[in-house]
Structure 1
């Protein structure tokens, strides 16, 4: 998800000057706990240590971080042999062109843009966006985000087929002005056209698309029974500790075991047993309540009196569920608890179109940016990590109770029964995982000290943020994507930015951190299930004058970046970094359009590999097993466009509406990408 936007895709409906509909959707800070910010960890680190060149190296040494690779210049000065360059392509320069730019020797082509017919009657996308709500439910959704390629032979785990598979794509949100022919219809601040809202609901969610590489090397959509749209109205099951909880009861589900839909699907994950995990991020803004006193499961998540799209202003149960106002004597008569059925990680079986998606409540409820798994071994617990993408929120780890058994048909318990932890980053470079478990003595003691009570573990997880507050987790600068190094097992996380921070420190050595950075840690336990780790900084984003690269030196024209967001390791250990700048960082700063870079951790090199079109976010990445095809998503090109003011025309050009799309990248010589 993007950093807080200065203009972005806010849309004020004509003659509705006071309308708050269609705002930018970023969640306002709601953490009022006294937990320390990560920037408050180091005493004696003052404003003077804003990073300039080597200052951050001293901070890294203070933390006891692993030694960074030497640069070529430093190696020569020390009389050491020159380090061989490992990234054998020329860096793409900064650009603001309305196209996708890749290095010489590579080619990029748009694939399955918003509105591509994939199922049902396969309705053709109409250039004026006049397709119906039903059409949209049979086409790819809007604003592609996290995704994964499942080889067609990967039904039970890892497959090898690189020419045929399922591409599963998240759709984070919508630009209502572009989704409809003439924008959305609003009268006196209310939605009045039910079909428009149904179309918006159908443009959210996930697309499952069977694809195949043809004999001439081109990829195509395969008409298949596996093709599927999962939307903000698709039936879902609720599993885990919160299943059947009284705080999950709604008029639609009096027993609290089912829900409708998934939305604001940002990053993703995939399980060792071959299923897809989609993550609900800034979901709170889809709901509104007129109640003056809100329970903690709403207030701590930013639910307010107005919603992002105004869906709740229409009559009918399918829309009224977005109104969380108490209207009945009990929860079974209204939708006060509808927001508690969101904020989860949702598991989807991509190979079974008849399966019902499952919301896995043991993984916690917050603004999930994504989920990544530690290396999984037979006979060991399943361990995964997720960040809460909001200012001053936390990083989490989940450890399953049961052990992973390859080929086992009963994997439900692995994601339903386990312990959720929140991270505390200590000043000396150590860290610990704090159990959010009502049966844990330390957690119970923390609750007693704070004067906070939970009736059961289901209530702990429904109120995950509050539980992490109580436990004493460290406030972070918007944790986004994570990635695990395939060889070392080190975990990397992007912290996109936090301009509200006042004091620099070892982990955040700049005040008013507009540029963001990347941290990393190594678990002390070999199975990743332990409670202690060591952490350090990996990269400080920013211009050449205010940054530090993986080689310990300031960034250069070949790799300056801001607001790191997407993160992914390929099997060779290259770290791919995607950016999500907005506002002046794109239009006026030195960075140009959003980009994707690749870092080689052995040499310390980092180069810009791709620059996206105007106004886009570069997000989502996956590849075929042979690494000859790379898939990258381009989200919201021409952000802020309206039908009469197109700020981008990518990918179709010629005055056509901009459309989010997947980009297929290959080498012209047909070899592996790197």
Structure 2
């Protein structure tokens, strides 16, 4: 009996009543008699290689890796053997779907744009023969498989479908021309042999979480950009402290781009890495528009760019830096937002994110916190501490945050703002290094050492104003299996469903908080994680503290990118990297989702999934 099958049976989920969608893409479970506190039937933790949803819901695959984006006159089909070319990949869904948003094109919300990130590539699946040998064509295809998709979707009598072709359809990737704006633009930090102006750059990649501006543009976040830069190992002897802080060290690269694309060779072009790690603004309604990297928001392993309005009408952007012992940031614009979400408003706000103040958070032990300015000449961020000007502050925002004494967090990731109360929630995914020799000890905001399961922290800005410089904070959840002693799991209610490594967060317009998890593929179903099943989507009611499991994904995946439509009758969510874990002996994949069955006979594919109530009602009820 396989491990997956054994664990599935151990959940007691013998009440499977249906297999739904193509090739057994989803299943539903009959309700038990306990009732559902959030209005939907229970979903157990499971290691089933498919989508598990409540019995009154259906889940369907909409946009898998390799599907045509819908660009007129160029819609190559996906080749299951990975023989699509690098040119094909510029016209198809990228790999490893992540953050996502739905932009309505009609008032009734039945037609809109889905804009989503493609975070990284699994080179063994992307190419017919894996990574051996590396070639220039493989580098191009890999760069083209990241970035952002813009697709058009509509709700029909048969359900949601992709509109093919669409005048809005677009793929933005690792070779797309972009502008650099803000305080670092045009400075020596951004200048390279290929771009003496320091204002132009090719591409965005490592695109993880996201944000949406009040004027209707999409913000994609460049997270683990550092792993794509490299060079000969002997060049590591000459790296600067700043390069070490950001992980851009020759010889530590994940992929060998530098051998075939010289701009990724840090020993020759060290400034190229400064041009990544930013929030990138994209106008999803204009496929001819040029994406812009907004340097005023600071360079980091960018995770989340969640926008809200201040009391006086400016925009505040909350951001995390997804690495152990990194920080939580806020940017507040200098100028007020021009209201509206049409082309006129987008034009009027086109430079709004280039002028303002960047802050970093300090969480004090008394449950209070402060936003500390990262402004040249203030708080010790000056020439004496290594910062010549504001450009250097934003390029090396991590080091500026060190100077002002911000709180080192347990991998801050997605941030969500409650639509009614204004409370701000952030996921702290985990940090196994907390309390290790030579590493920071536990503190009030990060109380577990090691922190294997993560949690959700929240704060309330003073006076309910996102521009405030002080706030009150507490812990909403300390995740993990509460049956295990000494791990410190704590949920708002004793019967809340357990989970680990919260990552994505999304508030729907009704105030329900949708929590997505990202436990390591190697940890899922083993040891301290055995009872938690595969990664999942949970629904939380912050008012009551009730948290219920809503969806469980296939083997090895991360659940991410959840967004609920304005009418709350459709939930879109991304299934990233199914099959991530491989058998160390045979290299066999542990997932064949969504096109096949185990033992894996097809390449697993990241995909966007549509979830709806069968009766057309509001999701989460």
TM over 0.5: yes
CA deviation digits over 1:108-161, x for unaligned, max 9? 0111100001225100101111111111111000000000010115xxxxxx34
Question: Equivalent residue for 1:126?
Answer: 79
Deviation at 1:439, TM superposition (A): 4.4
Structure 1 position 217, deviation (Å): 2.4
Q: How does 1:423-572 map to 2 (within 5 A)?
A: 423-440=361-378, 443=379, 445=380, 447=382, 451-502=384-435, 503-545=441-483, 546=487, 548-553=489-494, 556=495, 559-572=497-510
Superposition deviation, residue 364 in structure 1:
0.3
State the match for 1:234 in structure 2: 176
The verdict on how the C-alpha distance between 1:403 and 1:110 changes in structure 2, with shifts beyond 3 A counting, is: same
Please tell me whether residue 649 in structure 1 is matched to residue 592 in structure 2. Answer: yes
**Is residue 214–residue 220 contact of structure 1 (8 Å, CA) maintained in 2?**
no
1:36-74 residue CA offsets vs partner (Å, 9 max, x unmatched): xxxxxxxxxxxxxxxxxxxxxxxxxxxxxxxxxxxxxxx
Counterpart in the other structure of 2:198: 256
Tell me how far apart the structure 1 counterparts of residues 321 and 407 of structure 2 sit (CA, whole Å). 12
- Cα distance in structure 1, aligned partners of 2:112 and 2:389: 42
- Find the aligned partners of 1:376 and 1:402 in 2 and give their Cα distance: 11
Going from structure 1 to structure 2, the CA distance change for 1:194 and 1:102 (only over 3 Å counts) comes to same
Paired residue for 2:92, among 139, 150, 156?
A: 139
Residue of structure 2 equivalent to 1:348: 282
Taking the aligned partners of 1:511 and 1:446, their CA distance within structure 2 comes to 31
Distance 2:323 2:304 in 1: 13
1:659 correspondence with 2:612: no
Aligned ranges for residues 1-16 of structure 1 at < 5 Å? Answer: none
Q: Deviations over 1:381-436 (max 9, x none)?
A: 21110000000000000010111220443213320000000101111111001100
* Contact persistence 1:133–1:198 (CA under 8 A): yes
- C-alpha distance in 2 between matches for 1:241 and 1:218: 43
Q: Output the CA distance in 1 between the equivalents of 2:492 and 2:115.
A: 35
Deviation string for 1:303-343 (max 9, x for gaps)? 112221101112xxxx11001214xxxxxxxx221000000
Give the whole-Å Cα distance in 2 for the aligned partners of 1:392 and 1:93.
33
Residues 605 and 533 (structure 1), Cα distance of their counterparts in 2 relative to 1, 3 Å cut: same
Shift of residue 549, structure 1, vs aligned partner: 5.0
Shift, 1:511, TM fit: 2.1
Q: Secondary structure at the match of 1:460?
A: helix
The change in CA–CA distance for 1:439 and 1:412 in structure 2 (over 3 A counts) is farther
Q: CA deviation at 1:85?
A: 7.1
Structure 1 Cα separation of the partners of residues 160 and 349 of structure 2: 36
* Correspondences of 1:261-272 after superposition (within 5 Å): 261-272=203-214
Instruction: Give the number of equivalent residue pairs.
Output: 559
C-alpha contact (below 8 Å) 2:575/2:608 kept by paired residues: yes
Alignment partner, residue 338 of structure 1: 272
Q: Which fold has the larger relative contact order, with Cα–Cα distance below 8 Å and residues 6 or more apart in sequence?
A: 1
Partner of 1:173: 120
Query: How far does the alpha carbon of each residue in 1:501-536 deviate from its partner, in whole angstroms, 9 at most, with x for none?
Result: 225443333321101111000111433112111111
Structure-2 change in CA distance of 1:200 and 1:347 (3 Å): same
Question: Are residue 598 (structure 1) and residue 539 (structure 2) matched?
Answer: yes
Instruction: Say if 1:547 and 1:163 are closer, same or farther in 2 by CA, change over 3 A.
Output: farther
Distance across 1 between alignment mates of 2:160 and 2:99: 22
TM-score normalised per structure 2: 0.87
Deviations 1:2-21 (A, max 9, x none): xxxxxxxxxxxxxxxxxxxx
Deviates more, 1:574-583 or 1:294-303: 294-303
User: 1:144, 1:624 → 2: CA distance?
Assistant: 18
Residue among 240, 243, 250 paired with 1:305: 250
Q: Identify the residue that residue 47 of structure 2 maps to in structure 1.
A: 96
Q: Determine if contact 2:310/2:466 at 8 Å carries over to the other structure.
A: no
Report the 3-state secondary structure (helix = DSSP H, G, I; strand = E; otherwise coil) of the residue aligned with 1:366.
coil
Equivalent residue number for residue 30 of structure 2: none
Equivalent pair of 2:448/2:488 in contact (CA under 8 Å) = no
Say whether residues 1:201 and 2:143 are aligned partners: yes
Question: In 1, Cα distance between the equivalents of 2:463 and 2:351?
Answer: 23
Uncovered stretches (5+) of structure 2, i.e. residues with no partner = 1-34, 436-440
Distance 1:308 1:670 in 2: 45
Residue 286, structure 1, aligned to residue 228, structure 2? yes
SS of the aligned residue for 2:290 comes to: coil
Indicate if the aligned counterparts of 1:446 and 1:471 stay in contact, CA closer than 8 A: yes
TM-score (norm 1): 0.80
Give the conservation status (yes or no) of the 8 Å contact 1:252–1:259: no
Task: Name the CA distance, whole Å, in 2 between partners of 1:505 and 1:473.
Answer: 13
Query: What's the counterpart of residue 112 of structure 1?
Result: 63
Question: Aligned Cα RMSD in Å?
Answer: 1.8
CA contact (8 A) 2:338 2:348 kept: no
Cα displacement (A) at 1:623: 2.0
Q: Secondary structure of the equivalent of 1:292?
A: helix
Q: Which residue of 1 aligns with 2:569?
A: 628
Unaligned stretches of 5+ in structure 1?
Answer: 1-83, 154-159, 327-334
Q: Looking at secondary structure, tell me which structure has more strand per residue.
A: 2
Whether the 8 Å contact between 2:363 and 2:445 is mirrored in structure 1 is no
Hey, what's the Cα distance between the residues in 2 that align with 1:487 and 1:86?
21
Q: Secondary structure at the match of 2:52?
A: coil
Change over 3 Å in CA distance of 1:310–1:577 after alignment to 2 = same
Q: Tell me, in whole angstroms, the C-alpha distance in 2 between the residues paired with 1:311 and 1:174.
A: 13
SS of residue in 1 equivalent to 2:472: strand
